[in-house]
Each structure stands twice: as structure tokens, then as C-alpha cells.
Amino acid sequence: MEGGFDGAGAAEVVAELRESFESGRTRSFEWRVAQLKGIARLIVEKEAEITAALDDDLAKPQIESFIGEISMVRGSCRFALKELKRWMKPEKVATSVTTFPSSAKVVSEPLGVVLIISAWNYPFLLSIDPVIGAIAAGNAVVLKPSEVAPATSSFFARILPDYVDNSCIRVVEGSIPETTALLDQKFDKILYTGNARVGRIVMTAAAKHLTPVVLELGGKCPVLVDSNVDIKVATRRIVAGKWGCNSGQACIAPDYIITTKSFAPKLVDALKITLEKFYGKDPLESADLSRIVNSNHFKRLMNLLDDEKVSGTIVHGGQRNEKRLRIAPTILLDVPSDSLIMKEEVFGPLLPIVTVDELREGFGLINSKGKPLAAYLFTKDRKLEEKFVKTVSAGGMVINDTILQVTNPRLPFGGVGESGMGSYHGKFSFDAFSHKKAVLSRGFGGDVSMRYPPYTAHKQKI
């Protein structure tokens, strides 16, 4: 949005959207379908521009942009269009003898005007995917994309209005001042994606209006690797989930590995071989690796790497090119638990490995940190898998792979504890932006005088 978006601007946008919402326009099935079809059309017609914006913002390889963002959004849109009628249908529920005769149902009603604040790392997906849910549920929406991915943010501001009803769906560009101005307004739900520090700011602002929030945060996503795995397949999947996802700048990318002392050297060797196969001998020159988003994040990552507590632990990589914002895939072995890299979310191409005597010790290690958004286990041991699922708390899990939980729209996507609250994707998005209204309906028959005063001695006996 052009300069000067302040409190008055925010109030104006929200007032306009509220008026549109109150006209009832967004509630109809037809309106929702038309918006979703608009977004589906945008993806087809503007694919090249989306890819170019992602290239500008992150030098994201084209295939990665397609698989990780464009086709995910296309899938969400198609799924919502296919399922919408079913999702919108009131759900009949059983009644009890207390209300006999009666019928009961749960009606999903739109919440009103909702705000979506998104992050820079998957700037197309993380912006428009929640919008799909909000529209499917019949809301008016303000989208505030991340200023840290300016090309994608500007794409939305320029292009989205051509494909959706602008009186109900708005894009507001900007950084802290603009977001703060928006957060001063009353919304009916806020979905925020980003770090936990700002998550707290969003939740505090929302509390003033009693606005419920979905917070999609991050955390340190662990990968436990057993010694009985198919090491070739396991390392391919770890490397793809870490460096093949935006050079590790992904909320569910493996953050650190836990493995046994005896298996670690074998695992490191296998990771090195896979990395070289994927990205060549000089990964700083690889076109298949995204760059670091900006110099602030580059410096943040260098801080993690230059921490004296991890000096001597780099067993692979470590090369960097500050001018081009490139960092080679880097593995650190046996990092101390009080090093910065084990305290903070990495969110980049550095992969520390922690070693233990017995893999099960890793469960305690994971649970001693803030609950992660994702936890991964590679093993052939079914008992260990069961124990992992029961013992480790995380937003989501994958056994013997990474990242793929995000691709199934029938699974909720969201964190727990430090990694967030609430979830979305598929029907969970529809539910996140709906109020579940309880409706009990009776006729006039079967009226029992028992419940009414006077509460006579006779009634009290019964």
C-alpha cells in the first residue's frame, strides 16, 4: 500500500470490510466459490510472476517454488472447492432425554473480519493458504504479507485485487508500523505466522479486543536417527527436508539431529555424500539452493556459527559469501548443549548433531526444550516409534521422512506450547475461521411441568 497507512487508514479498511461482511455477501456458497476460483485462476495465469517474485526474494529454485508453494496452494484451493459444500453443511448431533423431543446441530458460521499476518520464508504459501481457509469459511479478510519478502508482498498488493472481491478481501503491505496500526483494530480472528517474540505482541494486542488467535510459530525441530535405518534413503530425506526447503529457512525443517555416539560418524559420512550429490563440490555456486533472505539473517546465522562454544565442531561446509548471502550446507558434530546454536532456532543451512549413548535419551532432550513444531524419527524399530509418538510432544511428527506432514490436507498443521496454538490446512482452516454455533430446536409438545416453579415437595421427591 502507498505511504501513509496509519491508524486512520487501518480503521478505514476494517470499517469497509465490516460493512461488506455485514451486508451478508461473504456468507453465500456462491461468493465463497467465486473467490476460491479467482485464486485458482490467479495461480494458473500468474505462475511465472509468482516464481519470479520468489526468485527475487529468496533465489528459490523454480522447482522448489512450484512444489513447496505454488502446487501446495493449488491443492488447497482445489480441496476447498471440492469439500466446501460438505464443510458448510450443519452437522446433526444426537440429543439427550433431558431435551426430548428436540433436534440438535452444529452450524458453522463465519466470524467476521479476520487478519492474516504472514512470514517471509514461504511468502506465497503462508499468505494465501490461510486466506483460502478464511474465504471458505465466509469471512472478510485483511492480508498483511511480510515486508521481508518485498517482491511477493508487492505481487499480492498489485495482483490479488484483480482476482477476488476487493470489497471483502484486502492486502495491506508494510512492516511494524502498519502491522501495529492493524493490530489496534478489532478483528474477529487473527492468524499470525512468524517468530514467538512477535507472536506475544500479536496475542497481547488481540487480547485487548478479546480476539482469538492462531499462532503459527517455530522452534527447534529435532530429528532422531536410529542406527538400524536404510542410511541412503534416510540421509536423502533429511537433506531434502533441510537444505531442499529454502536452505533450511523453513519452520518444519530439521533443526538438529540426535543420534548415538557410535552411529554419528557413519551418518555424517552419508550426509556429506548426499550433499555433494545434490549440490556439487562448490555448493555456494549451486542454483539448487536458496540464498539467505537478507543480511540481518545472514549475520544471525554467522553468530551461531562463530560462537566459540562450537569452534572445532564443523565437520562439513562452513563456507560463506556475505555479498551473495550464501552459506554452504554446514554440519556441526557434538555441539555443546549451552551453545547458541542449540538454544536458538537455526532457521538456515546449519545442522548441528548431538550424540547420546542410547537413542531413547533423545526423548528427554527434546522434551527439555520448548515443544517443537515438528519432530522426526528415523528407525525400523516399531516399539521405539510407538514410544516416540507417546512420549514426545510436538505440533506434528513424521516417521522415516521429513516435511511431508504439511502436504496432507487431512492433517492439522500447527504448533503446541512454544511452537504455537491452533491449526489450519484443509477442513482445519475452515474450522479455524468459523464459529461452531450450537443450535437446539424444539417444538411445543412434551412440555414437562417438573422443571418449572413452584418446586413443590412432591417435585422435590421425584
CB closest to ligand NAD, residue no: 218
Contact, 395 vs 415, CB < 8 A? yes
User: Rounded to an integer, what distance in angstroms lies between the CA atom of residue 85 and that of residue 133?
Assistant: 14
Q: Does 440 bind ligand NAD (CB under 6 A)?
A: no
Binder among 80, 373, 374, 377 for ligand NAD (CB under 6 A)? 373
Q: Does 325 bind ligand NAD (CB under 6 A)?
A: no
Binder among 17, 72, 114, 119 for ligand NAD (CB under 6 A)? 119
Q: Does 389 bind ligand NAD (CB under 6 A)?
A: no
Q: Does 424 bind ligand NAD (CB under 6 A)?
A: no
Task: Using the minimum distance from each CB to ligand NAD, give the nearer residue, 275 or 373.
Answer: 373
Task: Using the minimum distance from each CB to ligand NAD, give the nearer residue, 208 or 261.
Answer: 208
Is 418 a residue of the active site? Answer: no
Q: List the grid coordinates of 2.
A: 502507498
Binder among 20, 121, 127, 434 for ligand NAD (CB under 6 A)? 121
Q: Which of residues 203-232 bind ligand NAD (CB under 6 A)?
A: 216-218
Q: Does 423 bind ligand NAD (CB under 6 A)?
A: no
Give the type of residue at 302: M
**Is the C-alpha dihedral spanning 157, 160, 166, 169 positive or negative?**
negative
Binder among 58, 113, 148, 240 for ligand NAD (CB under 6 A)? 148
> Least distance in Å: CB of 252 to ligand NAD?
7
Catalytically annotated residue among 173, 178, 216, 418: 216
Contact, 172 vs 180, CB < 8 A? no
Q: Does 193 bind ligand NAD (CB under 6 A)?
A: yes
Task: Using the minimum distance from each CB to ligand NAD, give the nearer residue, 115 or 331.
Answer: 115
Contact, 28 vs 175, CB < 8 A? no
Phi, psi of 295 (to 5 degrees): -70, -30
3-state DSSP assignment of residue 59 = coil
| Strand pairing category for 189-193 and 330-333 | unpaired
Phi, psi of 320 (to 5 degrees): -145, 155
Angle between helices 150-159 and 125-136 (to 10 degrees): 40
Q: Does 298 bind ligand NAD (CB under 6 A)?
A: no
Task: Using the minimum distance from each CB to ligand NAD, give the nearer residue, 21 or 192.
Answer: 192
Task: Using the minimum distance from each CB to ligand NAD, give the nearer residue, 173 or 226.
Answer: 173
User: Rounded to an integer, what distance in angstroms lies between the CA atom of residue 271 and that of residue 273?
Assistant: 5
Q: List the grid coordinates of 439.
A: 443450535
> Least distance in Å: CB of 409 to ligand NAD?
15
> Least distance in Å: CB of 57 to ligand NAD?
11
User: CB under 6 A: which stretch of 187-195, 206-214, 269-277, 322-330 binds ligand NAD?
Assistant: 187-195
Q: List the grid coordinates of 141.
A: 479478510
Q: Does 107 bind ligand NAD (CB under 6 A)?
A: no
User: Rounded to an integer, what distance in angstroms lies between the CA atom of residue 120 and that of residue 130?
Assistant: 14
Is 45 a residue of the active site? Answer: no
Q: Which residues contact 405 (CB under 8 A, 6 or more apart)?
A: 252, 374, 396, 397, 398, 411, 413
Binder among 347, 428, 430, 433 for ligand NAD (CB under 6 A)? 347
E strand intervals along 194-260? 213-216, 222-225, 256-260
Q: Does 367 bind ligand NAD (CB under 6 A)?
A: no
Catalytically annotated residue among 64, 245, 251, 418: 251
Does an H or E element contain 354, and which?
A: strand 350-356
User: Rounded to an integer, what distance in angstroms lies between the CA atom of residue 185 and that of residue 190?
Assistant: 11
Which residues are designated catalytic? 216, 251
Q: What is the contact surface with ligand NAD in residues (CB under 6 A)?
A: 117-121, 126, 144, 146-148, 175-176, 179-180, 193-195, 198, 201, 216-218, 251, 345, 347, 373, 415, 420
